[in-house]
Every structure is written in structure tokens, then in C-alpha cells.
Amino acid sequence: MQYLKTFVNEVQIEFINDWIGTEIVIVNGKEVSRKYSVFGTQHYFTIKENGEDVNYIITSRFAGEIYFDIIRNGVMVKQGLVLAWGEREVNKSKKMVSNCCTSIN
């Protein structure tokens, strides 16, 4: 799995790409787009920022590595971000609870 977390102003954007080509975009903890891609695609979504609609386009592309660009209201705000190998952080308290109570038979 490849993963990257970045911020545009106060907006947290997470981008996940799994080994079968599923791309997932999560904004402020909420999934806003999911697509299948081998060589890249575009994710379109609108969110509220300070009470106003803001349009985003995230473009992914493969060129030896997975890169993506972020366009906010028609203006490129991040370009050429590279996805690293790794996973999305898990809430540690939930992980501890799920690991603590395994029954032994």
C-alpha cells in the first residue's frame, strides 16, 4: 500500500493506493473519492471551507512512482507529491483494545 497525508490550508487530505490499483481520497477523515486506476486518474470533489463550496481536483499519475497534484478552485496548490510505501495510521487506542482481548483456546 502507498500512502500520503498532506494539508491545504486547514484541510487534511489523505491519498491511498493499494496493490490492485484502488485509489482512495480522504478529506478531514471522510472518504470523498474512490476509483480504480493503473496509470492515473482524476478525483473531483467539493467540500465546505468556512461555509463556502470549494472545488478540488486531485490528479494521480504513474511514472515509475505514483505522483499526484492538487488543484483547488482552478489553482494548482500542490504539484508532484510522491506517494510513499506505508499505511494509514491506526487509532492506537482502538488497536490496543482489539489486540488485548484475543481468546486463547
Is the confidence at residue 105, as pLDDT, over 50?
A: no
What pLDDT digit, counting tens, does each position of 20-64 carry?
889 999 999 999 999 999 889 999 999 999 999 999 999 999 888
Q: Which residues have C-beta within 8 Å of that of residue 82, sequence separation ≥ 6?
A: 4, 65, 66, 67
Question: Distance between CA atoms of 102 and 48, rounded to whole angstroms?
Answer: 42
What pLDDT score does 64 carry?
84
Of the candidate CATH numbers 3.90.1310.10, 2.40.128.180, 3.40.50.2000, 3.40.50.300, the domain formed by 2-100 belongs to: 2.40.128.180
Query: Domain-by-domain residue ranges, the chain?
Result: 2-100
